[in-house]
Amino acid sequence: MLRQTIRPRKAPQVVFALLFVLFLSAILHAAETPQEKDARIAWWRQARLGMFIHWGPVALKGTEISWSRANSNPACPNRGEIPVEVYDNLYKQFNPTKFDAARWAAIAKSAGMKYMVLTAKHCDGFCLWHTKASDYNMASTPFGRDICAELTKAARAEGLRIGWYYSPMDWRDPDFRTPNNARYLASMTQHLRELLSNYGPIDLLWFDWDGGDPQYDQAATYDLVRSLAPKIIINNRLDLGPGNSDRVILNPNADYYTPEQAVGQFDNTRPWETCMTLGTQWSWKPDDTIKSLRECIDILVRCVGGDGNLLLNVGPMPSGEIEPRQVEILEGMGRWLQRYGDSIYATRGGPYKPSPWGAATCRDNRVYLHILSWPDTILVLPPLPCKVTGSSLLSGGKVAFRQTDQTFEIIVDTKDRDPLDTIVVLDLDKPADPLIPIKVPSGSLAAGNPASASNVFQNSPAFGPDKAFDDDRDTRWACDSGVKQAWLQVDLGKPAAFNRAVIEEGFDRIQRFQLEKRDGDSWKPFFEGKTIGPRGIFDFDTVTAQQVRLNVLEADDGPTIGEFQLLMRKP
């Protein structure tokens, strides 16, 4: 249960006025029918892919935005390595002379992205626009220019939608989450008025949360936002607090939920969007590990196949440029989408739910099977409750299918398989959208088997080792914060042969790991790797074992694993 927000006592007439505003807001919001809401967010659902941009003076240090700032407010969770007096004065050196908003927008468009979301203000309180609420903004930097103004103009010139990330937290503001919080709220209100009034129609507002008490006067804040931008789309994080998840929607004013650094589970009843970094942290990091094109296509397909969006983050450099390595991956995504975008844009997830082999998207009477990993020469799926009238490959080549009451089989010759994504098009005798989603078993030898681990976050069963073997990508095994080494093991019940491990990690924390099998009284490694990422696929020579262990040898922080699957791939 959310803790009650503490606010200063108000005079009766002020309380009456506030209640009247909240009542009016409730009436106005209730006037929107489900059909009207669907129409308002239709552009966003059809877009499927957007660019997230985390940037600010912290780029000068190459450390994580906001979280690398030392703490100056005990009500806030940051405990960063950069002293406050250093972090808070970086803006005096911030002079990104190579910033080119038109170039940023062109990169987003070339990547096939349909909208952009910029960190107008992150948790460190620095504002990328010329706010009148304080001097801690771009106008006070050597560069001086209004980033928000230039980006909105550039995005619209490219036909892209524009939105703001706005942190309702401000770890630098001395009034935030104190008895003077009302004074902070006045500054926050001014910020929102400027952001939603000074730059033309804003399409999206992306609030954030830090796990602390959400003392943001949510009702009045939503009312202000919707009064200034009636058609705006708002995420779920303004209301989240202690004990919440980023996958819940606590307020009818919120339009969608936001899995972070992990692909969300299939959900075609509530809109959702995965936010994920192209590197390992949100802001720019020198020599960072960048996701490959294959990884990015995999993530995008699984998001859309789960009926969600992907907001993929870039962190521009101190110069204002987006790093060439990141641009190369983004442009690769764009080339892929130019060819195969019909299977992504304006589709819905299903009728098959995402599984180790891949995911499905659909539109009208057509289904696109995105086969990302072939489990065999033949892909065997549960039968569809309709007739398949035809099939083809988007990339060219031949495909065959066999349809029975028990199975639906797809056959594609090895030479016709695309190394990134073999897309099989199925034409049906009825619309695919209304079909009941079909769960495809993962085929993992480890699914549902007894599991154990060296550490569990707060000893909570909700994060127990079994959550990594439950074929549910919305649960996870997690360790306590600060844990740098840990192990997760499973007992298969009897010796079994396998030659592939699929591991889904949250937050990119693992830096080195081994896969090991029990050999008598000891553990024998059979595979060693470095980072895992959102979805790591690791192939090796066939191993036969009953007990298998993921041994995390080095991690930045407490490791967390969504799924750990053991599979037998065949030629």
Q: What is the pLDDT of residues 258-296, one digit of tens each?
A: 999 989 999 999 999 999 999 999 999 999 999 999 999
Helix (H, G, I), strand (E, B) or coil at 71: coil
The pLDDT value recorded for residue 535 is 83
Is the distance from CB of 341 to CB of 370 less than 8 angstroms? Answer: no
- Asked if residue 25 has pLDDT above 90, the reply is no
Q: Is residue 103 over pLDDT 60? A: yes
Q: Which of 160-164, 369-373, 397-401, 432-436 has the lowest mean pLDDT?
A: 432-436
- Tokens, residue 48: 């499927």
User: Which pLDDT band, with edges at 50, 70 and 90, does 19 fall under?
Assistant: very low
Mean pLDDT of the residues in the chain: 92
- Which domains are assigned to the chain? 12-343 (3.20.20.80), 348-428 (2.60.40.1180), 451-567 (2.60.120.260)
**pLDDT at res. 4:** 26
Q: Give me the mean pLDDT over the 398-416 stretch.
A: 93
Q: Which tokens hold the place of 20? A: 């009247």
The predicted pLDDT at position 150 comes to 98
Q: Is 463:476 a contact under the CB 8 Å cutoff?
A: yes
The total of other beta-carbon atoms located within 10 Å of residue 436's CB is 7
For the cut 90, the answer to whether the pLDDT of residue 10 exceeds it is: no
Task: Give 339-365 pLDDT, tens digit per residue.
Answer: 999 999 999 999 999 988 999 999 999
- Check pLDDT > 60 for residue 193: yes
Bridge partners (DSSP) of residue 564 are 503
Beta-sheet strand order (sheet of 358-363): 348-349, 358-363, 366-371, 422-428, 388-393
Give the residue-averaged pLDDT of 473-479: 88
pLDDT for res 454: 97
| pLDDT score of 22 more than 80 | no
Please tell me the predicted confidence (pLDDT) of residue 388.
95
The band of 6, judged by pLDDT with boundaries at 50, 70 and 90, is very low
Q: Which of 56-70, 322-336, 458-472 has the lowest mean pLDDT?
A: 458-472
Name 38's Cβ contacts closer than 8 Å, sequence gap at least 6: none
Q: Is residue 29 predicted with pLDDT exceeding 90?
A: no
Q: Determine the pLDDT at residue 30.
A: 54
261 within 8 A of 311, measured Cβ to Cβ: no
Region 207-228: mean pLDDT is 97
* 405: number of Cβ within 10 Å: 5
Residue 35: exposure state from Cβ atoms within 10 A (0-12, 13-18, ≥19):
exposed
| 144 backbone φψ class: left, alpha, beta (φ>0; ψ -120 to 50) | left
Closest among 209, 262, 242 to 507, alpha carbons compared? 262
Residue 16 confidence (pLDDT) above 60: no
Question: Looking at 45-49, 81-85, 555-559, which range is the least confident one?
Answer: 555-559
1, exposed or middle or buried, with CB in 10 Å at 0-12, 13-18, 19+?
exposed
Q: Looking at the predicted structure, is the pLDDT value of residue 201 above 90?
A: yes
- Give me the count of residues in the chain: 571
Encode pLDDT of 380-402 as tens digits. 999 999 999 999 999 899 999 99
Confidence band for 216, pLDDT divided at 50, 70 and 90: very high
Q: Which residue in 511, 443, 507, 444 sits closest to 477, CA to CA?
A: 507
Residue 439: what pLDDT? 87
The percent of residues in the chain predicted with pLDDT above 90, rounded, is 86
DSSP string for residues in 367-393: EEEEE-S-SSSEEEEPPPSS-EEEEEE
For residues 43 and 241, the answer to whether their CB atoms sit within 8 Å is no
Burial class (CB within 10 angstroms; exposed 0-12, middle 13-18, buried 19+) of 409: middle
Q: Which pLDDT does position 571 carry in this prediction?
A: 57
Q: Residue 2: its pLDDT value, please?
A: 25
